[in-house]
Amino acid sequence: MSRIGVAFDKARADGRAVLVGCMPAGFPTVEGSIAAMTAMVEAGVDVIEVEIPYSDPVMDGPVIQKASDIALAGGVRTADTLRIIEAVAATGAPVVTMTYWNPIEQYGVDAFARDLAAAGGTGLITPDLIPEEADEWLAASDAHGLDRTFLVSPSSTDARLRMTVEHCRGFVYATAIMGVTGARAQTSGAAPILVSRLREVTDLPVGVGLGVGTGAQAGTVAGYADGVIVGSALVRCLLDPPDEAAGLTALRTLSAELAEGVRNPVR
Amino acid sequence: MSANASAPAGQVPDAAGHFGRFGGRFVPEALVAALDELDAAYRKAMTDEAFLAEFGALLRDYAGTPSLLYSAERFSAKAGARILLKREDLNHTGAHKVRNVLGQALLTKRMGKKRVIAETGAGQHGVATATAAALFDLECVVYMGEVDTERQSLNVARMRMLGATVVPVTTGSRTLKDAMNEAMRDWVANVDDTHYLIGTAAGPHPFPEMVRDFVRGIGEEARQQCLDLTGTLPDAVAACVGGGSNALGIFHAFVPDTGVRLYGFEAGGEGVETGRHAASITGGSAGVLHGTRTYVLQNSDGQTIESHSISAGLDYPGVGPEHAWLHDSGRASYAPVTDREAMAAFELLCRTEGIIPAIESAHALAGALKIAPTLAAELGRGPLIVVNLSGRGDKDVHTAGEYFGILDKE
- Where does the pLDDT of residue A267 fall: very low under 50, low under 70, confident under 90, or very high at 90 and above? confident
Residue B24's nearest CA partner among B281, B288, B244, B293 is: B293
Mutation target to probe the A interface, by most A beta carbons within 10 A, among B29, B176, B307 is: B29
Q: Which of A72, A129, A160 has its CB closest to that of B26?
A: A129
ipTM of the complex: 0.95
pLDDT score recorded for residue A201: 98
User: Which range has the worst mean pLDDT, A10-24, A218-232, B167-181?
Assistant: B167-181
Beta strands B261-269 and B165-169 are unpaired
Q: Which residues contact B83 (CB under 8 A, 6 or more apart)?
A: B71, B72, B75, B76, B368, B385, B387
Mark out chain B residues that contact chain A at CB-CB < 8 A.
Answer: 1-3, 5, 16, 24-34, 171-172, 177-178, 181, 184-185, 188-192, 287-291, 296, 298, 300-304
Pairwise CB contact (< 8 Å): B29 & A175: yes
Pairwise CB contact (< 8 Å): A103 & B30: no
> Which chain A residues are Cβ-neighbours of B26 within 8 angstroms?
101, 128-130, 133
> Which chain A residues are Cβ-neighbours of B31 within 8 angstroms?
155
Mind listing the pLDDT tens digit for each residue in A112-143? Answer: 999 999 999 999 999 999 999 999 999 999 99
Q: Which of A105, A154, A155 has its CB closest to that of B302?
A: A105
CB of B241 closer than 8 Å to CB of B334: yes
Overall residue count recorded for chain B in this entry: 410
pTM: predicted TM-score of the whole model, two decimal places = 0.95
Residue A103 phi, psi dihedral angles, 5° rounding: -55, -35
Q: How far is B299 from chain A (nearest CA, A)?
A: 9
Average pLDDT, chain A: 95
Q: Is B111 exposed, middle or buried (0-12, 13-18, 19+ CB in 10 A)?
A: middle
Chain Cα centroid distance, residue A102: 18
> Which chain B residues are Cβ-neighbours of A166 within 8 angstroms?
none
Helix axes A78-89, A30-42, angle to 10 degrees: 30
| CA gap B246, B264 in Å, rounded | 10
> Which chain A residues are Cβ-neighbours of B295 within 8 angstroms?
none
| CA gap A94, A194 in Å, rounded | 26
pLDDT score recorded for residue B7: 41
Give the CB-side neighbour count of residue A69, counting CA atoms within 13 A. Answer: 15
CA dihedral over A36, A38, A44, A48, signed as positive or negative: positive
Report chain B (410 residues): mean pLDDT per 10 consecutive residues. Answer: 42 94 96 95 97 98 98 98 98 95 97 96 90 98 91 90 96 84 90 94 97 98 98 98 96 97 98 97 97 98 95 92 98 98 98 98 98 98 98 92 88
> Which chain A residues are Cβ-neighbours of B171 within 8 angstroms?
62, 65, 69
Mind listing the pLDDT tens digit for each residue in A38-91? Answer: 999 999 999 999 999 999 998 888 899 999 999 999 999 999 999 999 999 999
- Identify whether A60 is a catalytic site residue: yes
| CA gap B192, A13 in Å, rounded | 39
Overall residue count recorded for chain A in this entry: 267
pLDDT score recorded for residue B80: 97
Mind listing the pLDDT tens digit for each residue in A180-212? Answer: 777 777 767 899 999 999 999 999 999 999 889
- Identify whether B273 is a catalytic site residue: no
> Which chain B residues are Cβ-neighbours of A180 within 8 angstroms?
185, 188-189
pLDDT score recorded for residue B4: 38
Q: Which of B16, B33, B304 has its CB closest to that of A155?
A: B33
Q: How many Cβ atoms are within 10 Å of A247's Cβ, its own excluded? A: 21
B31, closest residue in chain A (CA to CA) = A155
Residue B370's nearest CA partner among B401, B408, B333, B320 is: B333
Mutation target to probe the B interface, by most B beta carbons within 10 A, among A54, A58, A126 is: A58
Mutation target to probe the B interface, by most B beta carbons within 10 A, among A76, A78, A128 is: A128
